[in-house]
Amino acid sequence: MSYASQTTVENYLGRTLSASEIASLAYILESADRTINDRLGGSYGVVDVSSKYYDGGWRHIEFDSAYEVSAVEMVDSDTSNSVLETYVIGEDLELLPLNQTTKNYMVKRYGYFTEGVGNIKITGRFSLGATVPDDIVYLATYIASNMLINSQLNGIKKEAIEGYSREYTIFNADTDPEIARVLGSRSEILI
């Protein structure tokens, strides 16, 4: 499921899409989603419950963003991945940040997680959120619409006809200020 849709792109452009544009729209929407996901380091949407393994030996463990964490366990990573200890969320450890629905690291309240490679198993729904925020829908629509506009230009940067001239701005997702503005509000400050 893409963040944007044919309807949002048509509303942004103020016109209906042609048959050839509709035929390529699925690829354009996928590219827009990938551009956003790569910059955010994750994706939005409902996902199935899965488990991921992280290294112990620390008091803090960073993990892939999850909007739901159902279990944190220490496993025997050398043999069968059998559960050796189950941690109680809220008692043995805290999922952080506390003021956000999506969590991406945890802190053991007392001591350290037992040292090991891939011995901490986190079970949950690994995604930036179950619902796609409005600003991300807008941004995907903006990117997809500009990609469609670029495809119509066929490399034309400037045209002049009988005293009338027009210069086109070629859309570049790497340098576009609107993408930087929207995603800038979602970036984490690194200290």
- pLDDT single digits (tens) 152-190: 656 666 667 887 877 666 778 888 889 988 988 876 654
Q: Residue 143's CB: how many other CB atoms inside 10 A?
A: 27
Q: State the Cα–Cα distance between residues 191 and 178, nearest whole angstrom.
A: 25
The pLDDT value given to residue 58: 94
**Which residues of the chain fall below pLDDT 70?**
152-159, 167-169, 187-191
The pLDDT value given to residue 153: 59
The pLDDT value given to residue 156: 60
Q: Say which residues have a Cβ less than 8 Å from residue 116's Cβ, sequence separation at least 6.
A: 55, 56, 57, 74, 77
The pLDDT value given to residue 187: 67
The pLDDT value given to residue 151: 74
pTM: 0.78
The pLDDT value given to residue 157: 65
Locate 34 and state its tokens. 């990938």
The pLDDT value given to residue 174: 85
- pLDDT single digits (tens) 73-87: 999 977 788 999 999
The pLDDT value given to residue 154: 63
